[in-house]
Chains A and B, each alone.
Chain A
């Protein structure tokens, strides 16, 4: 087994882990505030990739402005969906939230397939980020390194806002005791809308990061969200840093599995998920809800 192959697969694993981290962080914010398991996260990821493609194709707007515009746009659409659809299921059993977001995922995918067909469309790596570094034991493409750095920046920024700022304090309070927080004068329903927007904006940003390396297709979110859900079960919803650590670790584990026994790579995460559900259902870093 050659060192370059291993390094290459670990890099892929780290990149996947970075996407998993952004997606699961968004899910954790949404679940904490709204108590909804947002399967539609996959649809917002796909929309992020597609908006980037549309901005470039139809607006001539490139990658770097898209880094700001795409998460913003996806976030705004998310807030509209929360106000129009999700508010109606808050008082119901959790199952309905899951079913509704599942429906939104299916509908959005179907809509985009209808408009764009399933074939993947290419999105170019921005010239400033093309090429790479020769590290001796492997060649590190600049864009790959960029993905890891940017997603970790997004994740750590989210962690910082939630743990260390007044807005984050209010968010944590609303997550723990929504009614009491309202009794202090905080507009928790508006906070929930905003929180959903932030959670899906992270997915949209992941979609933009993914566009140059996976082609842009309406079904690109479907497979990803299933793995991300398994990762969230494994890590639990207890801590933000826990979600990040779990995501990166499982990405690396998948990469390792691809080297050792490639056929197992797709199953590794789900085998671990089943084991965690049987032994410690709250997840490795989770708290019982």
Chain B
């Protein structure tokens, strides 16, 4: 099973109602790899994440997660293949306190990080465990969003803009968490506007524009192809 890609998208078209957002998207992520998807706002990066998770209205083409075809599968089935999803809006529940937010996602297997270890990694969450979820600061909510998927035993993580809007100190902490996750052999797909963060974590960078992948740049090529990256990010 070692050569089955963790994620393989082939010619994926995606729609929000009648709006055609993904135009024949193809990409692949090998097991244990960390890959980033970069591009300007509106390129379709978040839509790609949602397509993989089965959260998109209409999709066609092929999406295989760990070898299983999931193009028509409901989100709950896709998640149970071992995916930990950290959405762009963080998705912290206002009607649950911090502990309930943390405990909500069901265990997918027995390999999850223990509560004890989670609280060691994120001591703030222990301290604020009775606070209502949305009372946390942006950075704390982001930590909570990570903590709850680490507990489930997922080994394939979709991280959508995890450092957006956060102070540099917190961004640094989050980078460390993600690097730690990668070191444990987990597979990571990262959507990031902050290329510095992406370059620290990803082995390869997919460049996305207008709903399709236009380039793929490996870690070794970063200096030689820097201009392509700046062009893609519009900076």
CB neighbours (8 Å) of B103 from chain A are: 166, 169
Q: Which residues of chain A come closer than 8 Å to B233, judged between CB atoms?
A: none
Residues of B within 8 A of A175 (CB): 95
B95 and A183 contacting across the interface, CB-CB below 8 Å: no
A177 touches B100 (CB 8 A): no
B177 to chain A, nearest CB (A): 19
- In the complex, what residues of A have CB within 8 A of residue B197's CB? none
Instruction: Say how far A91's CB is from chain B's closest CB, in angstroms.
Output: 10
Contact with B along A163-193 (1 / 0, CB 8 A): 0001001101101110111111111110000
Q: Give chain A residues whose Cβ lies under 8 Å from the Cβ of B80.
A: 185
Query: Are B79 and A173 closer than 8 Å at their CB atoms?
Result: no
Give per-residue flags for A135-173: 1 if the beta carbon is below 8 A from chain B beta carbons, else 0.
000000000000000000000000000000010011011
Shortest Cβ gap from A148 to chain B (Å): 30
Let me know if B87 is at the binding interface, CB within 8 A: yes
- A169-B96, A173-B96 known; A182 and B74 CB under 8 Å? yes
**Contact residue among B54, B76, B91, B108 (Cβ-Cβ distance under 8 Å from A177):** B91
B95-A184 in contact (CB<8A): no
Given A185-B79, A186-B106, 14 new contacts (CB under 8 A) = A169-B103, A172-B96, A176-B95, A180-B87, A180-B91, A182-B74, A182-B75, A182-B79, A183-B53, A183-B85, A184-B104, A184-B105, A184-B148, A185-B76
Closest Cβ–Cβ distance, residue B202 to chain A (whole Å): 22
Partner of A172, one of B95, B105, B108, B148: B95
Q: Which residues of chain B from 84 to 134 have a CB within 8 Å of any chain A CB?
A: 85, 87, 91, 93-96, 100, 103-106, 108
- The 8 Å CB contact of B104, one of A173, A182, A188, A189, is A173
Residues of chain A within 8 A (CB-CB) of B193 are none
Q: Nearest chain A CB to B53's CB is how many angstroms away?
A: 5
* Chain A contacts for B54, CB-based, 8 A: 182-183
Query: Is B55 in the interface zone, CB < 8 Å from A?
Result: yes
